[in-house]
Amino acid sequence: MAYAATGSTKIWYETEGDPSSPALVLVAGLGAQLTSWSPKWRQMLVEEGFFVICFDNRDAGLSTHLSGHGAPDLARLLSGGDLDPPYLLEEMAGDAAAVLVALGVASAHVVGISMGGMIAQQLAISQPEMVSSLCSIMSTTGDPSVGQPTEVALASLLVAPARSRDEAVEQAISSWRVLGSPAYPFDEEVERRRIAEAYDRSHDPDGVTRQLVAIISSPDRTAGLGEVAVPTLVVHGECDILVQPSGGRATAAAVAGSQLMMVEGMGHDLPVELYGRIIDAVVANTRRAPAPAPRGEA
């Protein structure tokens, strides 16, 4: 447990597993902290023989929150107005790179979910030497013609900020009921506990908005993805209404030789019942890559 620095921004990271094993970095989604990756998911990857790295994106968790920039005018941006975002996804990809550098990892298998998938894509584009394989889960390319949320999904997110811990938990539970996987059970007790623990660790609605502005303001990655040469797996739920399936299909179409895994009954979450199937696919994708360089070797 430590910090990596990118300029004045500090990125909190944690690791699990044998440091001499191949590195695999998990990149969390919008507003999510590294704790959003369940202990079971991380442990399964460790048992598959990976040195697992998780970190808090900027404006989330224990990493630097850019509070001095205040709350962006999201309504103006969504209506077509211009904003000067404090950062873009490229800077967030730089944060991921800084974590790898701090750990002496020359290259890693990179798995990102939702916004984390966008960051993982950008890292593979901007610093391809640091990415051994890429897995983009329930994400999209940045092309505004694909992967857009439905009105129902957008409405579940664009709610007034909660005024208390209890209200924040209830809002999140309501949102996940809308966005989650309809074919799999919703374990409210587990989700309620996870959301409450995340709130206690860090709660910053303005930070989430700054991340959202970074997503909207960042350029289309389609052309850059066309240059990605590492083994790539794209996983997407057929029932995802927050990042609709066209986003996953466009991502796979953009990366030559990529593999697309569309999951029936899956929405914008990772049901525990699917862990084994998805992790098997992630592991198979990493095995298509050359062995990464040992730690500390560029």
Q: For the segment 252-285, what is each residue's pLDDT rounded down to a tens digit?
A: 999 999 999 999 999 999 999 999 999 999 999 9
| CA atoms of 193 and 177, how far apart (whole Å) | 15
Going along the chain from its start, the domains and CATH numbers come out as: 2-149+206-286 (3.40.50.1820)
Antiparallel, parallel or unpaired: β 51-55 and 108-113 = unpaired
Which of 139, 291, 137, 289 minimizes the C-alpha distance to 228? 289
DSSP tag of 88: -
Q: For the segment 111-168, what is each residue's pLDDT rounded down to a tens digit?
A: 999 999 999 999 999 999 999 999 999 999 999 999 999 999 999 988 888 899 999 9
Model confidence at 296, pLDDT cuts 50, 70, 90, reads: low
**How far is residue 154 from each of residues 43, 64, 158, 175, 271, measured CA to CA in Å?**
33, 27, 6, 10, 21
Q: Give this prediction's pTM.
A: 0.95
Which of 242, 240, 241 minimizes the C-alpha distance to 261? 240
Instruction: State the pLDDT at residue 267.
Output: 98
